Structure formats: C-alpha cells, structure tokens
Amino acid sequence: MVNHVQLTDGAGHLSKGDSSGTSSSSGGESSKESSRSSTPVLDADRTDRLRDKMRRRIDSGDKWFSLEFFPPRTANGAVNLISRFDRMGAGGPLFIDVTWHPAGDPGSDKETSSMMIASTALNYCGLETVLHITCCNQSKERITEHLKKAKRLGLKNLMALRGDPVGEEWEEEEGGFSYATDLVKHIRCEFEDYFDICVAGYPTGHPEAENYEQDLKHLKEKVDAGADFIITQLFFRPETFLKFLKDCRAIGISCPILPGIFPIQGYQSLRQLVKLSKLEVPEEIKGVIEPIKDNDAAIRNYGIDQAVDMCKVLLGSGEVPGLHFYTLNREVATIEVLRKLGMWREDPRRPLPWAVSAHPKRKVEDVRPIFWASRPKSYIYRTQEWDEFPNGRWGNSSSPAFGELNDYYLFYLKSKCPREALLQMWGEELKNEQSVFEVFTNYISAKPNASGNKVACLPWNDDPLAQETNLLKDQLEKVNCRGVLTINSQPNINGKPSTDPVVGWGPAGGYVFQKAYLEFFTSNENVTALLKVLKKYEPRVNYHIVDVKGKNITNAPDMQPNAVTWGIFPGREIVQPTVVDPVSFMYWKDEAFALWIEQWAKLYEEESPSRMIIQYIHDNYYLVNLVDNDFPLESCLWQVIEDMFDLVNSTVEHAI
C-alpha cells in the first residue's frame, strides 16, 4: 500500500544529497542531571537525549539499529504507515527517521507531511524520531519556521541536509543556504543545543563533490559546525564503509558514524535508486540479480542474505555501534535481516503497561486512567495540551482538562479498516439489539460471523483482543451474548513476575499486581438489577454507572482515584501506571458513547433501522465500570454479573 514510486522523490538523503565539508570533534556532551529522580520508572533510556543514549550504548557495547521511512502520498497511506511504526517500533529501534519531502508540503499539517508523520511517530507511537530537513530552495526564515514548529511538536532530533536543487540548474535561494554546513550552523545559532543533529556521510564521496578527499573535508566541516552523529549513504561492500570510517577518524571526525544499510528488495527499486544516487552496483551483485530479475521473492531473499553478510562484517569490525536501515517503508526485508542478526527484540519488555509517548514533556508521565487502554492515541491527543503529566500518582496535579474529541477523521485516530470491511464485520443490516450482542460476542470469540467474516475490531478496540484479555475470553463471551457489552477489562493479578510474557511490564526482578476491572455497556433493565446486586458486594466492589446524559451512580469517593495496576521493583518506589479516576471517567464516557454514533451508526443510512438500533443503544444504555478491590481473591465480578442476570430473570418470571 505504501507507494513504491515515491522512492524517487521521497527517499530524501538516501538517494539525494548535500555537499559540504571539513573538521574536528562532535558535541556529544552528556546532559545528565544530578537532581533527585523524579519518577520511579524513569530509566536513563527515557530521559536521555539521543546522543546520550548512543554514548551509553557505545560504552556498554550494546549495538542498536534505526529505521528510515519516507512520508506517504495518501491519507490512507499515512494510516498504514502509523500502524507500521507501531509494529516496527516493537522490535526496539533506537530511533526512526522521516525524510523531508519538498514536493509534499513537508512542513504543513497535512497528514502526509514529513512534519506530521514525524510528530505522530514521536507523540503517538512513542518512537525517538529524527526529522530530516533540507535547506536548498528555502529561505532562512522558512527554515526557522519549520524548526520552531518541530520543536513545538516535541521533535528533538534533526537530519540536516542540503537537499536537491529543483530542476537542472542550481540556484541559491536568496537569503537561503547553499550547504548543509550552513544549515547546521543556523540550527545551532537559532536553537543552541536544543536539537541533536545528524548529517549525511558519503562513503564513496558525494556525487557532486570534487573528489573523495574534498568530500571528507566537507563532512568534517559539518561536524565542526555542531553535528552530533553521521549516517552514511548506502553502499554495497562493507570495506567501502570501513575505509570511509578510517578516513573520517584520520582527519579527526570522532562522532558516531552509522552505516546506511539497504537490503535489496526488488530489481526496479534498485535500478531507480542507483540511478538517483549515482552509485555503481558491484559486478558480483549484478551477476546474481540480473538472472533472477523477474523473481521478486528470489531477489528479496538474496537482498536479505547480502545485507546480513555485510552487517556481520560491519559489526564484527568492532567499529560500528549501530546499523541504519533504509526500509523503503516496507517491513519484511528489514525485520528479517534484523532477526537473522539477533538484533530484533523478540520479547518486547514494556516499561509500563501502556505505550509511553516519546515527547520530551511527557517523559515523566507514568500514570493514566484505564479507560483509554485500547485507545491510547486518543488519550494522547486529548491531553496534548497539558503542561504537566501525572508523575507517580494521579492527584491534584492533573486537574484534567481533556480536549474535545470531534476529530475522528485524524489519521492517527482513524480505524485501519475501510467502511466496507467494517460493514462486513459489524453487519450490513442490524435486526435488533441482539444483532449487536452478536458482533461483540464474535469479536471476543474471534469466530466468523453469520456472513463468514471475523470481527477484527470494534469502535472501542481497533485491534483484536489483547493477550491479557484473552485470559478472560470464556467469561467475556458468555456475558456479551447476553447483552453485557464489554469494551475494557483486565484480570486480577496477585504478584506475577514483572517478566511475565502476558501481564509483565517494568524492569526485571519486580512483581506486578492488578485489580480485576470490567467495563461495559448494558441496558437500563440490567442496571436496575445490578444496583441491587452490588449492595451485597460493598465495599469490595467499586462501581461507576453513567448514561449518555451524564447521570452518574457510584459508591466511590468523588475525587479519589483507585489504582488498578501497580508494580513493585528492586530499589524503587511503587509504580502505579493505571487508575480508575472518577473525574476522567466522565470525559471518557462522552468519547465512549460518541463512538457508537461516529464509528458505527454512521455506517448506515439515516433513518435506517440499523442506524436506529445503534442510536437506541446510545441513547438508552448505561456505561458501567466495576473494580474488585480484593485482588488476592478470585475476581467476584463474574459472579456480580451472574447475580444480575439471575435477578433480571426472576423479576421477569415474577412479572409473568
């Protein structure tokens, strides 16, 4: 889906370049603060700036990889790229970078702009992100505007490039820059040490450079102007890079130099790339791929093997601290190479039960309301204006002014499924409330519905059931088919190791705990019975029950959050990353109710019976959350629901 042709104008410094020059050492200073630790899980990995992370990993010999992407051409492409960020982020890249796409209005708010894609990777996918920026054909002022915007969005790293002149003739923009060196100087001049700056290196010399030596001198100039590290243009032989590295060191370039790895993924893309970058493909490679040029799979397999072999030599040299991959926005080849190198993180350790944002302001954040567990991007969006994030506890500090969520069209909030697919999953035509119960039940059971389609998502859950929720699958299935429409739940956990593959999070050697939680929509009739039943479970069970108008029934204190997930770790304070917070619940309920209409009802014609059924549920059902405080015992929440059904049935029988 990611348009391959974009390679021509989207691959930024991969296929194009800047020309610049010479001399001394980089600015890789550590910015360690000696103040008291401000949050129990705030590892250096979360607080350090990129160059410090590199420094630490170089010191400890812990090799890293990074991934380069280009901005997509369509909104749909953006939605898909964001999902790819989530999937590839799981493998543990040290950073990703997004190329600057001059033809694509790169600094704008369009969902396909370089700026927006980089911001989304950082803010919504939690990835350390490097934004490319080019200086040719742009005024100084325009560049400063872009940089200010990047800073405002939380971006802290730049790849400073010259970029390509438009057309054949090279013409300096009036009041602009001719060289990446000038851009680096400008960034340092205007923003001092705020940004970490990367520059490009050319192992075989920049195509426009006078000669290799001259090009090395340009590179040294860029570093001396304030660049922190170097990523190289692609190359086909490890010795090309190693010689370049040696030459860089010889003239006094001491910052990290990362080889750009390009796994060959197809005959056409290679040809195009080579043409643009004016590189020579070595005979030994040509000799292999020419005969198989029509066999995509064979070429890709060859590309993987070739990249793996080259990376092994590079890593084996002891001179290469990390590998930079030109992904061409594709997953398979790069992941395969990384897997074969043993660098792909197969067992992602979560620092917290939810995905942490990489925005500098949010780095201390370590507690969130549980309600947005399946909609973390919406939570980030609605809290992006907060000046401070709850750190350690959900207390006074977080007087929650949630932003409105009317922007269901935003690409990072949008469902990955098109309308047609949604209708196939949720029903072309709904007959009654029971039809809706079945959709929920099919989602839980992961069995195909009547029309043979699996229900892979719901308006409240854009992904299939989480592994953890799977622990509750049988019970969830039973209650959903009877009209307890669950949208969020977690089992109780009484001290499992923090390394547990399903429920674990945080550093090793700790223990994680949870209170059982269940959140669902259900009818007025059920709620009436439930309220009677809940009296028996006081004070063990806390509940909040609310309808779309905000009528709120609860036995919990008004302002008191209830911690429902916490962890105990060696040498640390307690971490309690999720809470049931009565105040935020009222913001969440607006969103939860609105999703019925925005994501589901609107699939159908106005006035259609299907739409009216969803509208009826929206108008009449209650949103309920239940917490079983007695986490060491077996959860009583299923019994609560069972008792509720019993009471409803006995009332019905009495009525008869």
Which residues have a catalytic role annotated?
Answer: 68
**Residue 58 CB, nearest distance to its own copies (Å)?**
21
252 binds its own copies (CB under 8 A): no
Q: Alpha-carbon distance 230 to 236, whole Å?
A: 18
**Residue 584 CB, nearest distance to its own copies (Å)?**
11
**Residue 42 CB, nearest distance to its own copies (Å)?**
9
Q: Alpha-carbon distance 363 to 501, whole Å?
A: 24
Per CB under 8 A, which region of 7-15, 99-107, 599-607, 624-632 contacts its own copies? 624-632
β-pairing, 493-497 vs 157-161, is unpaired
Q: Which is nearer to its own copies, 228 or 366 (CB)?
A: 366
**Residue 491 CB, nearest distance to its own copies (Å)?**
16
Q: Alpha-carbon distance 487 to 489, whole Å?
A: 7
Q: Which is nearer to its own copies, 434 or 560 (CB)?
A: 560
Q: Alpha-carbon distance 218 to 224, whole Å?
A: 10
In contact, 541 and 629? CB cutoff 8 Å: yes
Q: Which is nearer to its own copies, 494 or 523 (CB)?
A: 494
**Residue 354 CB, nearest distance to its own copies (Å)?**
17
Query: Which 526-585 residues touch its own copies, going by CB under 8 A?
Result: 539-540, 542, 556-557, 559-563, 566, 568-574, 576, 579, 583
Candidate list 19, 22, 26, 39; residue touching its own copies; CB under 8 A: 39
**Residue 574 CB, nearest distance to its own copies (Å)?**
5
- Count Cβ atoms within 10 A of the Cβ of residue 510 and give its class: 0-12 exposed, 13-18 middle, 19 or more buried: buried
At 524 the three-state DSSP class reads helix
The CA-atom distances, in angstroms, between 255 and each of 47, 55, 179, 381 are 21, 10, 20, 36
214 binds its own copies (CB under 8 A): no
Q: Retrieve residue 242's tokens.
A: 């190693």
What track of x and - describes contact with its own copies for positions 458 through 497 (by CB under 8 A)? ------------------------------------xx--
Query: Which 377-396 residues touch its own copies, going by CB under 8 A?
Result: 391-396
Could you say which DSSP state residue 30 is in? -
Q: Which of 448, 525, 453 is nearest to 483 (CA)?
A: 525
Q: Can you list the alpha helix ranges (DSSP code H) found in 205-265? A: 212-224, 238-250
What track of x and - describes contact with its own copies for positions 319 through 348 (by CB under 8 A)? ------------------------------
Close Cβ partners of 301 (under 8 Å, ≥ 6 residues apart): none
| Rounded (5°) CA angle 333-336-338 | 110
**Residue 412 CB, nearest distance to its own copies (Å)?**
30
Q: How many helices (H) and strands (E) does the chain have?
A: 22, 18
Q: Which of 503, 622, 623 is nearest to 564 (CA)?
A: 503
**Residue 479 CB, nearest distance to its own copies (Å)?**
23
Q: Which is nearer to its own copies, 494 or 608 (CB)?
A: 494
- Measured from the Cβ of residue 103, the count of other Cβ atoms closer than 10 Å reads 11
**Residue 392 CB, nearest distance to its own copies (Å)?**
5
Query: Which 385-444 residues touch its own copies, going by CB under 8 A?
Result: 391-396, 398-399
627 binds its own copies (CB under 8 A): yes
Q: Which is nearer to its own copies, 27 or 507 (CB)?
A: 507
Query: Which 154-213 residues touch its own copies, going by CB under 8 A?
Result: none
The CA-atom distances, in angstroms, between 473 and each of 443, 519, 548, 626 are 10, 14, 27, 17
Query: Which 493-522 residues touch its own copies, going by CB under 8 A?
Result: 494-495, 509, 511, 513
What track of x and - describes contact with its own copies for positions 18 through 37 (by CB under 8 A)? ----------------xxxx
Q: Which is nearer to its own copies, 167 or 632 (CB)?
A: 632
Q: Alpha-carbon distance 219 to 239, whole Å?
A: 19
- Count Cβ atoms within 10 A of the Cβ of residue 307 and give its class: 0-12 exposed, 13-18 middle, 19 or more buried: buried
Single-letter code of the amino acid located at 625: N
Q: What is the DSSP string of 602-653?
A: GGS-TT-HHHHHHHHHHHH-EEEEEEE--TTSPP-HHHHHHHHHHHHHHHHH
Q: Which is nearer to its own copies, 91 or 392 (CB)?
A: 392
**Residue 511 CB, nearest distance to its own copies (Å)?**
7
Q: Which is nearer to its own copies, 175 or 557 (CB)?
A: 557
**Residue 395 CB, nearest distance to its own copies (Å)?**
6
Per CB under 8 A, which region of 126-134, 189-197, 485-493, 630-638 contacts its own copies? 630-638
In contact, 627 and 644? CB cutoff 8 Å: no
- Count Cβ atoms within 10 A of the Cβ of residue 421 and give its class: 0-12 exposed, 13-18 middle, 19 or more buried: middle
Size of the site for its own copies (CB under 8 A): 46
Candidate list 168, 387, 632, 654; residue touching its own copies; CB under 8 A: 632
Q: Which is nearer to its own copies, 143 or 627 (CB)?
A: 627
In contact, 21 and 221? CB cutoff 8 Å: yes
Candidate list 17, 40, 91, 303; residue touching its own copies; CB under 8 A: 40
In contact, 181 and 219? CB cutoff 8 Å: no
Contact footprint for its own copies (CB under 8 A): 34-40, 391-396, 398-399, 494-495, 509, 511, 513, 539-540, 542, 556-557, 559-563, 566, 568-574, 576, 579, 583, 627, 629-632
